A and B are shown apart, each in its own frame.
Chain A
Amino acid sequence: MTTETCDIVLSGKLVNGADKDQVQQKLGTLFKTTEAKIAELFTRAPVAIKKSVDVSTAQKYQRAIEKAGAECVLKTQQPPVAKEQQEPSLSLVPMPEQQAEKVEPTGVQKPKKPGYDFEITGQPDYSFLTVQIPANETLKVEASAMATMDTNIEMKTKLKGGFGRFLTGESLFINDFTAANGPGEIGIAPGAPGDLLHQYLDGNTIYLQNSAYVASTADVTVESKWQGMVKGFFSGESLFLIRCSGKGDLWFNTYGAIIEIDVEDDYVVDTGNIVAFTEGLEYTIRKVGGYKSLFFSGEGLVCRFSGKGKVWIQTRSAAAFVSWAHWFRPVKRK
């Protein structure tokens, strides 16, 4: 796998001591665009302003952007398989300007991405999701994850996903948050320390590891899926995956930071580090190396993905944290 291209991502943070207005003004000049449009970009940060550029060009951008006072991150990626079209593309002044046309002129309400307006802050270690729920619409959120909300939002608890969800070890409940009498804002904090990822489903399907689900809009179908005895049993994680399909926004979380891998031929992931993967990937649970490695490597069984698709992995696994935390549990008295 090669990594000669990367995405230029505006993290939304400012370089120390920089004044937001000034930074936006400078960036506006830099990209020959209006300050308002830059401000709009900031509201959606972290946002990729340019995708799949070669590393040296990306570094040039990064230097220019950071000089203007905004934090800029380069995300290396494998050669893209399917490009997403939603991101606006911005170019430095000396470069051809044509991509910039994709960005809506100012004055128009947000570039019309499908789905709800949302913001993710605190990335990558304590990501926090703020969603604007349109009037009288409903957002499904995993139980106990609500941290803040407007006073006009009403909460209802429903038994979702039936018995299957109960078995996955997840809470039995998903809460419905409805914005009554006008739009409302809700802040969501998952229990696990880590990152949050958003995907807009448009008829495609994503499989989530059993505790990764955070929130989704009404038309996304969330169901538990029996992995089959062999696969599930040996993965040591759970017998179930959560299958998300339909149309709408889906947010899921990780424990630890997130790494996105484009699988081209095959890729091996420790079972405890899988967060989600796209439908269409084949996977088998295997041992690593020889039998000696199986028992002594500390890796045990791994998941071997093959085919073409995306796998999201987390940089930490819950099992290790759980066994550490075990020693801090209070001792039951008889």
Chain B
Amino acid sequence: MNIELLHRPGNTAAKVTLQPGETCTAESGAMIAMSGHMEITTTTHKKKSGSLLKAVKRVFSGESIFLNHFEPTDKPGEVFFGTDLAGDMIDLTLDNENLIVQSGSFLACEDSIDIGFGWQGFKTLFSGERVFWLNLKGSGKVVLSSFGAIYPVEVDGEYIVDGGHIVAFNETLDFSISKAGKSWIHSFLGGEGLVCKFKGKGTVWCQSHNPGSFGPLLTPNLRARKA
């Protein structure tokens, strides 16, 4: 499976080239175009494994219950993936490790990756992030997406990320809900409010922008909707 990311970081598309026999699993609705001989099957779980329980858990993480599997017949084929909103993608190669991913940021992965459920405790209720997370496990390639550009931060000690800006992080990191700077009052008056403080050693991938900040800017110009 070969991954090429096009037009980063604005409206990134992932071009995945598959050899016969290779399968790529993707979030439902992500396909934008593909070779004519690409087979697509839809399941509630990973091909040849997994259970309905996992699928139900995935729904709790804000993902769709269904996954699509792409497999070319006879000869190599290509498939392009996109996302709902504008934004960046990154491709990572996992080497028998765990990656905690913000639900909604998972786009596609190799067949060898297990997509599980990553509970991060009730603190996420306050973080401005979604409450549920995905846990990607195993060895192989994964593609993650975001609204905004994605930048990695190597944490060694402590680092602060504003709520709503986390895409993924290594399992070796732990985070807590905290304030920006020394004072709670200033953190709130400065508009930052509650932030996530990461501790340990590892990488956290952040998204530069946050759709929740952009949306309200549109409101004054949009046509009114019925309640």
Please give the residue numbers on chain A whose beta carbons come within 8 Å of chain B beta carbons, in ascending order.
Answer: 1, 124-125, 193-194, 256-257, 259, 261, 265-270, 273, 288-290, 292-293, 296-299, 304, 306, 313-317, 320-321, 324-332, 334
Which of these, A194, A265, A288, contacts B11 with CB under 8 Å?
Answer: A194
The 7 closest A-B pairs by CB, nearest first: A298-B29, A266-B36, A125-B10, A298-B28, A257-B7, A320-B84, A256-B11
Q: How far is the CB of A190 from chain B (nearest CB, A)?
A: 14
Asked if A324 contacts B85 (CB within 8 A), the reply is yes
Alpha-carbon distance A299/B79, docked complex (angstroms): 13
State whether A321 and B218 are in contact (beta carbons under 8 Å apart), knowing that A265-B36, A269-B32 are contacts in the complex.
no
Q: Decide if B215 is an interface residue (CB 8 Å cutoff).
A: yes
Number of B interface residues at 8 Å Cβ cutoff, please give it: 44
Alpha-carbon distance A259/B42, docked complex (angstroms): 26
| B29 partner residues in chain A, CB cutoff 8 A | 297-299, 320
| B27 partner residues in chain A, CB cutoff 8 A | 298
Q: Decide if B41 is an interface residue (CB 8 Å cutoff).
A: yes
Alpha-carbon distance A292/B41, docked complex (angstroms): 8
Asked if A320 contacts B85 (CB within 8 A), the reply is yes
Q: Mark B6-23, 1 if CB is under 8 A from A, else 0.
A: 110011110000000000
Please give the residue numbers on chain B whose beta carbons come within 8 Å of chain A beta carbons, in ascending order.
Answer: 6-7, 10-13, 27-36, 38-42, 64-66, 68, 78, 80, 82-86, 211, 215-216, 218-220, 222-227
Asked if B219 contacts A329 (CB within 8 A), the reply is yes
Which of these, A267, A289, A325, contacts B40 with CB under 8 Å?
Answer: A289
Asked if B33 contacts A269 (CB within 8 A), the reply is yes
| B66 partner residues in chain A, CB cutoff 8 A | 296-298
Alpha-carbon distance A101/B30, docked complex (angstroms): 46
Residue in chain B with minimal CB distance to A124:
B7
Asked if A270 contacts B211 (CB within 8 A), the reply is no
Asked if B225 contacts A330 (CB within 8 A), the reply is yes
